[in-house]
Amino acid sequence: MTIPNTLAALAAALALLAGAAHAQPIGPDSGEQSVTLLGTPFQVSTYRPPNCVPRMVLAVFHGNDRDAGPHRKVSRGIADTYCAVVVAPRFEKQQFSDAAFSLGGVVDNGALVPPGKRTIDYVAPLIAWARGAVGQPALPFALLGHSGGAQLVNRVAAYVPLDARRFVIANPSTWVLPNLEPAPYGFGNIVAPADAEKAIRAYLARPIVVVLGEKDTGNGALAMNREAVAQGENRLMRGRNTFALAERVAREHKWPFGWKKLEVPNIGHDFSNMLESRQTLEAFR
């Protein structure tokens, strides 16, 4: 790590700690909070089950419709089952374009964005704020995203060393592949060649749950750039192909493989039915 990046990381950590120390408590049931993360204001929709001591923070990421409140609402079943505090941040389009949001903000016009300035870098401060607002600084956490939010969670799992209990990735349009394709579709350019194998091995060992709607075979808002099309003809096939590739790479190298795949019958590209499905609920067991 370079000295400027070290200083930036230190500054971010200090800001993170200060934000957590002054966090307004997340009260029972549904709520809204204005939170500043790394100098950027966010509206965060929250839900805290009223009759249990929190056992997990569940960060829920909306799609490109930016509908954080409805995503919070349909995550309540998961929260009630596992006594999880839901935090669903809204990424405003004026600050985060669709590409900068869903692809993690790791590349801008073909150039890598430095750590500390990427969309994926807001997730760690979000978790720190939520833990402070709950009053449990070591509370386990999980990430859940659908569609554009699933693409974001996938980039977090690939490029950020977070110790989430689960990364639940539902119906994304594109994936990070365990190969040297250029970021944000692989590990090319984002890590030094000497570190690529270590990064891919860590990615394959993460507790990632791939959740796919068996009828998510349309092309509405489907990414159709060259890299996306190479992953498959629709979201269902792209998810199956990525999982199969990840499983094969781990097996061939005899690496630990932490991924699971769950498919939801009779459901297409529908965040409400996906997040309320039995399969998504089981992804957190």
Q: What is the mean pLDDT of residues 206-232?
A: 97
Q: What is the mean pLDDT of residues 136-162?
A: 98
**Which value, to the nearest 10 degrees, does the dihedral of the CA atoms of residues 185, 191, 193, 198 take?**
-90
Which residue in the block uniquely carries the two structure tokens 């067991």?
285
* E strand or H helix that includes residue 227: helix 226-229
Phi, psi of 42 (to 5 degrees): -130, 145
Higher pLDDT, 67 or 23: 67
Tokens for 107? 């590349």
Q: What is the mean pLDDT of residues 2-25?
A: 49
Residue 251 has pLDDT above 80, yes or no: yes
Pick from 39, 37, 72, 41: which is nearest to 58 by CA?
72
- Torsion 71-77-79-80 (CA) sign: positive
Please, are residues 245 and 178 in contact by the beta-carbon 8 Å criterion? yes
**C-alpha to C-alpha distances, 82 to 87, 122, 213, nearest whole angstrom:** 14, 24, 23
Q: What is the mean pLDDT of residues 254-266?
A: 98
Q: What is the mean pLDDT of residues 106-132?
A: 97
> The domain that contains 56 carries what CATH number?
3.40.50.1820
pLDDT category at 177 given cuts 50, 70, 90 is very high
**C-alpha to C-alpha distances, 274 to 39, 89, 146, 159, 210, nearest whole angstrom:** 33, 19, 8, 25, 12
Residue 5 has pLDDT above 70, yes or no: no
pLDDT category at 257 given cuts 50, 70, 90 is very high
Percent share of the chain, pLDDT over 70? 92
In tens, the pLDDT along 128-137 reads: 999 999 999 9
The whole-number pLDDT of residue 22 equals 58
Q: What is the mean pLDDT of residues 262-282?
A: 98
Q: What is the mean pLDDT of residues 83-104?
A: 97
pLDDT category at 23 given cuts 50, 70, 90 is confident
**Which value, to the nearest 10 degrees, does the dihedral of the CA atoms of residues 168, 116, 225, 208 take?**
-20
Please, are residues 26 and 33 in contact by the beta-carbon 8 Å criterion? yes
Q: What is the mean pLDDT of residues 221-243?
A: 98
In tens, the pLDDT along 50-69 reads: 999 999 999 999 999 999 99
* E strand or H helix that includes residue 246: helix 235-253
Parallel/antiparallel/unpaired status of strands 29-37 and 40-48:
antiparallel
Counting the structural domains of the chain, the total is 1
Domain span at 263: 3-282
pLDDT category at 48 given cuts 50, 70, 90 is very high
The whole-number pLDDT of residue 20 equals 46
The whole-number pLDDT of residue 133 equals 97
The span from the CA of 97 to the CA of 3, in Å, is 30
In tens, the pLDDT along 155-174 reads: 999 999 999 999 999 999 99
Please, are residues 154 and 178 in contact by the beta-carbon 8 Å criterion? no
